[in-house]
Chain A
Amino acid sequence: MNTRAQMKIQEMSFMIIALAIFFILILLFYLAVSLQGMKRDVAQSERAGGILLAATLAGTAEFSCAEYTTSVCVDSDKLLALTDHPEYARFWDVAGITVEKVYPAPAGRKVCTRENYPNCNVFVIVNQTSTNTMSDASYVLLCREDYRNQYSYTQCDLGKIIVTTEKIA
């Protein structure tokens, strides 16, 4: 009788240990799944933050279009004026600002100057000199006034503003 009782207690303790291991495994599985999702969310959030930073800069008075007040519209005539004034570079306190035309893009990289505008595709606002940097970009509209059949109209192309900042050591 005594031996049988001992066996029962042993069976019970094995059962409790097995159950505990089973629940721990479930918990580990759940944690692994949720951590994987969390990592993806953090990466997505970092990218969204970068886009927002670049879009905020595009929405400032120095870049934005007069007609459209949204942050996605950048006035390319203003960009051309800014490229002529390198002393403005100190104003933003970033390592580099470049605006590229994405579509329609002329073949090759043509930096915009007064001579080749608007047949160019890159505006260098702040020339990047340092190497330990990271970049954030946001898609924007590159708008300018154009003429056709003696009428003026706003031509908006697709562009990208790239803001480069120094990496924090």
Chain B
Amino acid sequence: MVGFIIIILMVMIIGVIFLGISLRKSVQGSGVEATDAEISNFMSASLGYVTDCAKDYEPNYRTIEDVIDDCYAKRSCADGRKTCDVLNKTYSEILPNFKPAGSQISAYRMNFYYLQNASADVGESERLDMGFYSGNMDTCQSRKAGMTSISIGEGYIAEVLEVCLKEA
């Protein structure tokens, strides 16, 4: 009887260790959850979108990628607007047009992380104070995430977008 209990305990301990390892594997890599190909594709393409924020004179407009760099460096647009506000406003206008897998977005959260190198893990990197959100992600039932990164100076900025989906 004692032997049986020992076997059961051993199996349970092995099971818990196995479960812990597999859960940890799924979280690693994105820092939030598994990344979705469509969202990452959307984010990579949107980086080149030309905003209405001019660098010095019109029409020397900045792309979203430039605006992220400027927001990180706390630079402003030629008309005095804060680049972080332009970033927030541009995405708040673009995201309602994005329908991943035919669904509409009911809430989203965008965070930025500073990476020492391109292969660094987002989960273990410094989160930058330039993120924004819309709606309530905490009560979301169906969420997806995507990630893209841009090169700045000696490091990288990873842009992580989490969206909450509702049926269109």
Which residues of A does B touch, CB under 8 Å?
Answer: 15, 19, 22-23, 26, 30, 33, 44, 47-48, 51, 55, 68, 72-73, 102-105, 138-141, 143, 146-149, 151, 153-159
Contacts and interface: CB of A to CB of B under 8 A. Distances in A.
Given A19-B7, A103-B94, A138 B41 contact: yes
B61 A26 contact: no
Contact of A148 (B34, B58, B63): B58
Nearest to A58: B45
B79 to A, nearest CB: 14
B2 to A, nearest CB: 12
Given A51-B38, A158-B45, A103 B59 contact: no
A71 B85 CA distance: 29
A9 B61 CA distance: 85
Interface of B: 4, 7-8, 11, 15, 18, 22, 34, 36-38, 41-42, 44-46, 48-50, 57-61, 63, 93-94, 97-98
Majority-rule SS of B interface residues: helix
B45 A148 contact: no
12 contacts: A44-B37, A51-B41, A72-B45, A102-B97, A140-B45, A151-B60, A155-B50, A156-B63, A157-B50, A158-B45, A158-B49, A159-B45
A148 B57 CA distance: 11
B18 to A, nearest CB: 8
Contacts of A102: 94, 97-98
Contacts of B46: 139, 158
Contact of B44 (A72, A146, A147): A72
B154 to A, nearest CB: 23
A73 B11 contact: no
Contact of B38 (A47, A140, A153, A157): A47
Contacts of A104: 93
A97 B29 CA distance: 34
A154 B133 CA distance: 30
A68 B15 CA distance: 51
Contacts of A143: 48
